[in-house]
Amino acid sequence: MDNADAVVVGAGVVGLAVARELALQGREVLILEAAGRFGTGASSRNSEVIHAGIYCPRGSLKARLCVAGRERLYEFCRERAIAHRRCGKLIVATTEAELPELTRIAATSRANGVELALLDRPGARALEPHLACAGALHSPLTGIIDSHGLMLALLGEAQRHGATLACASALTRVVLEERSVLIGVNGAEPALRARTLVNCAGVQAPAVAHLMEGFPPPHIPVAYFAKGSYFTLNTRAPFQRLIYPLPEADGLGIHLSLDLAGRARFGPDVQWIEGCEYAVDAARAAAFYAAIRRYWPELGDGALQPAYAGVRPKISGPGEPAADFRIDDARLHGVPAVINLFGIESPGLTASLAIASEVVSRIN
């Protein structure tokens, strides 16, 4: 029987941040990752945006951890020379009828401690001359980041403080003990005892929780899979900032984001599916053209190319209000050795360092 102090399941950005924080606290940490390398799921299949904390409901865990995590992430990037840029973004109302929604978003943002500037059409076009809109909100705190560089930095610091990453190591069985867990990997009988198990498996977190024999089922949410596809632009976009339409029922709308080289990509859309798969259907481009041309009418035919897709780790279904982050510890579910992270979708990357501190604060 092998022993470990703390086992983190999942080597995405949140799992790596948690592992780093535990290692910095002097804990012996083993990171189990089912894939052949770290960061292959949602952490590398997103818009790479550092969010300001605009849309999260007041008082939610998302709001608190996004706002706290944003400033920590900017500082972390500056200190470690991780590529990033505080480029700002515009949230646009494309018609007069949509303008009241900008006011509502601004109020939500203000309640979270994030001030936005309300711009009329001339004010918005002064910033982005090619933008079509009736008005916009300007968020100067929003930025972009090299997510792979971030994960490399988190992993490197975790390893320098003694953490170990085991890839191609899928957790397949967990036996709960009074103050620890027994873990089986890759179908083998449980042969690893850990004092703490932190489930950071992202979209697979509910499935991992179901592997814990005797874990109370009412504390495992239903997993929903919301695929989001992205298309890239085959020319250079005439924008310096991110451009977001008004939020939709299940997402933030097909927005324009930029990579650190200034190349534009559009997405994600929302496609509810039964399980994880990442193929981009080129036929979805028609809906992208229609959505983008509402705020950028100059987009030419044939300018979009299929890029990549991600799957959001949702615990709320189609048409339901977006669920808050869940960091479930023993005070909720009664299992001392286990912390489950559920529904860590956007803004999970932005909040990752704050999430890690929150997790460690809840470990006995």
> Which pLDDT value is given to residue 250?
77
Percent of the chain exceeding pLDDT 90 equals: 97
pLDDT of residue 169: 98
321-347 pLDDT, tens digit each:
999 999 999 999 999 999 999 999 999
The pLDDT of residue 82 is above 70: yes
Distance, in Å, from the CA atom of 166 to the CA atom of 8, rounded to the nearest integer, reads 10
Instruction: Judge contact between 322 and 338, C-beta under 8 A.
Output: no
pLDDT in tens, 58-67: 999 999 999 9
Instruction: Give me the chain's average pLDDT, please.
Output: 96
**For position 251, what pLDDT does the model report?**
84
Q: What is the pLDDT of residue 248?
A: 85
Query: What would the mean pLDDT of 125-146 be, rounded to a whole number?
Result: 98
Is 3.30.360.10 the CATH classification of the domain at 223-322? no
Give the per-residue pLDDT at 203.
97
Residue 83 pLDDT = 98
pTM here? Answer: 0.97
Through-space distance between the first and last CA atoms of the chain, rounded to whole angstroms:
23
Ranges for all domains in the chain classified under CATH 3.50.50.60: 2-47+148-221+323-361
> Under CATH, what is the fold of the domain 2-47+148-221+323-361?
FAD/NAD(P)-binding domain (3.50.50)
Find the helix packing angle between 61-80 and 147-160, rounded to 10°: 80
Asked if residue 21 has pLDDT above 80, the reply is yes
Contact 193, 1 (CB under 8 A): yes
The proportion of the chain whose per-residue pLDDT surpasses 70, expressed as a percent, equals 99
* Residue 1 in this model has a pLDDT that exceeds 70: no
Task: Give yes or no for residue 249 having a pLDDT over 90.
Answer: no
Backbone angles phi, psi at 288, to 5 degrees: -65, -45
Cα 269 from Cα 304, distance rounded (Å): 14
pLDDT digits (tens, 9 = 90+) for 219-248: 999 999 999 999 999 999 999 999 999 998
Token representation of residue 239: 């924008």
According to the model, what pLDDT value does residue 294 have? Answer: 97
Q: DSSP readout, 44-61?
A: GSS--EE--S-SSPTT-H
Start-end ranges of CATH 3.30.9.10 in the chain? 223-322
Q: Residue 193 burial (CB < 10 Å; 0-12/13-18/19+)?
A: middle
Q: Rounded CA gap, 86 and 125, in Å?
A: 20
pLDDT tens for 258-305 read 999 999 999 999 999 998 999 999 999 999 999 999 999 999 999 999
Tell me, what amino acid is at 91?
I
User: How many alpha carbons lie under 13 Å from residue 278 in its C-beta half-sphere?
Assistant: 12
